[in-house]
Amino acid sequence: MKINLLIILLYLSVLVIFSCNSTKELNHEIIYNDSAHFELQNNFRFTLNNGKGFNHPTYVLWEEDMSGNYLRTLYITKAYASGIFGHQMVGDSVWMMKPGESHQPAALPYWSHKKGLLSGDNLIPSPEHPFVDAYCGATATKNFQFRSNIEPLDKNIRILFEVNQAWDWNYYWTNSKYSDNYAYKHSAQPSIIYAVTINNTDSIYYLNPIGHGDAKGESGKLFTDLSNITSAKEIFKSIKLEIKSN
């Protein structure tokens, strides 16, 4: 009797495991829901479709007014927001095969300067000074959707997205280009900034590249020449935003 019961339990366990795996395989999209802002009027869905260049990038999504003034951050990858990455940084150019603190000023420099100082003179998030004013999540390995709500729009605003992928070298952004700059040596091709203008009309928008960030992470300047950017533009096939009134 006990043996038969054990066999049944094992069989049910196998069914559950296969059921879970099938669900994950059939679901090609990871969805994050931001419940903190569901009281706001406009339904907001942000979808990333991975491209052939995708390899665990760091990224951030935020709002600006039409004059380019920072309003608020909507979503940011947890590693950058916390300063704890998958590879701990030791010194200027050594990375360990374990998670730990890593200072990455060239990862998302445009947003980092836009949002301003965290505390004192700290611009880049760290374990001591994390960025906590947005929804944080791990980098999704599949296509990704972030669902939230935004305030009613009585005028146009801009939605911006910055993405960077470590060690993403190409013919122009080589590992010897800024050989004395540790931030660049980790970043390689600089971050890409995408943007779109939205209004209070229910619609579907696609974000398009407007430039890249500072390859050395020393400023918040936007560089509009993307002619030497290659695989970094292929991290995502499409970046889509849907707005719908509740």
pTM: 0.84
Q: How far is CA 228 from CA 88, 127, 139, 189, in A?
A: 29, 34, 26, 9
Nearest CA-CA partner of 193 in 212, 206, 207: 212
- pLDDT tens for residues 54-67? 999 999 999 999 99
Give pLDDT, residue 43: 85
Give pLDDT, residue 5: 41
Give pLDDT, residue 237: 97
Give pLDDT, residue 94: 56
Task: Write the burial class of residue 164 (CB in 10 Å: 0-12 exposed, 13-18 middle, 19+ buried).
Answer: buried
Give pLDDT, residue 93: 56
At residue 82, the 3 state secondary structure works out as helix
- pLDDT tens for residues 119-141? 878 899 999 999 999 999 988 88
Ranges of the chain whose pLDDT falls below 70:
1-27, 38-42, 86-99, 246
Which residue ranges make up each domain of the chain?
29-245
Task: Write the burial class of residue 136 (CB in 10 Å: 0-12 exposed, 13-18 middle, 19+ buried).
Answer: buried
CA distance 242 to 219: 31
Give pLDDT, residue 41: 64
* Pairing, β 135-137 against β 58-64: unpaired
At residue 54, the 3 state secondary structure works out as coil
